[in-house]
Amino acid sequence: MEKCGISSGSVVLSGRQTFIVLQKNAGSFVGCPLVYEGEPVHRADVVLEWHELVDAGLSRLDVRCRSIPCQRSVLSARVIGRVAPEIVSRVAVRAEREQTQRNVETLARRGTGHRDRSRHKPVRAVWLEGGMMMSRREASLRAV
């Protein structure tokens, strides 16, 4: 049974994590997680103003959006609000920039002769339009 109301710009709760939905696919969505101020700042973080958070229906105002897209099932998601299209485009632009940087870093790492990382079980994080990227955060979630 598919959840209604999930679309680009929805703020959803999936498990214990809150996401801003970038894209909805059949049976799943691609979203960027919201992280609290206590977490270290990442280069992919998008700062959200307090009024944007209030408009989105969030009660906590000390969060940022980490523009590292993850794929989740719509069955595990519950819509709690919506963000403006401008915020979605801001997050998507930052996510694309992060993907580009990760691709450059991956190519540079291959060229330096560092240890082969293929021994480790690969963890998949979904990118818009079907591309892939690796995410330590995803690896730690799957390890638990």
pLDDT digit string, tens, across residues 12-54:
999 899 999 999 988 899 999 999 988 999 999 999 999 999 9
pLDDT digit string, tens, across residues 89-132:
999 999 999 999 989 988 888 876 555 555 566 555 555 655 54
- Give which of 105, 99, 87 is closest to 128, Cα–Cα: 99
Which has the higher per-residue pLDDT, 123 or 74?
74
According to the model, what pLDDT value does residue 138 have?
Answer: 60
Mean pLDDT across 58-63: 90
d(C-alpha 2, C-alpha 75), whole Å: 6
Domain ranges of the chain: 10-143
According to the model, what pLDDT value does residue 42 have?
Answer: 93
**Residue 35 Cα distances to 42, 106, 111, angstroms:** 10, 25, 33
Mean pLDDT across 2-19: 86
Q: Is 4 left (phi over 0), alpha (psi -120 to 50) or beta?
A: beta
d(C-alpha 107, C-alpha 12), whole Å: 34
Predicted confidence (pLDDT) at residue 3 exceeds the cutoff of 60: no
Task: Report how far Cα 81 is from the mean position of its chain's Cα atoms.
Answer: 17
d(C-alpha 125, C-alpha 69), whole Å: 7
For the chain, the straight-line distance linking the first and the last C-alpha, in angstroms and rounded, comes to 27
Q: What is the CATH number of domain 10-143?
A: 2.30.30.110
In contact, 68 and 53? CB cutoff 8 Å: no
Mean pLDDT across 62-80: 92
According to the model, what pLDDT value does residue 2 have?
Answer: 43
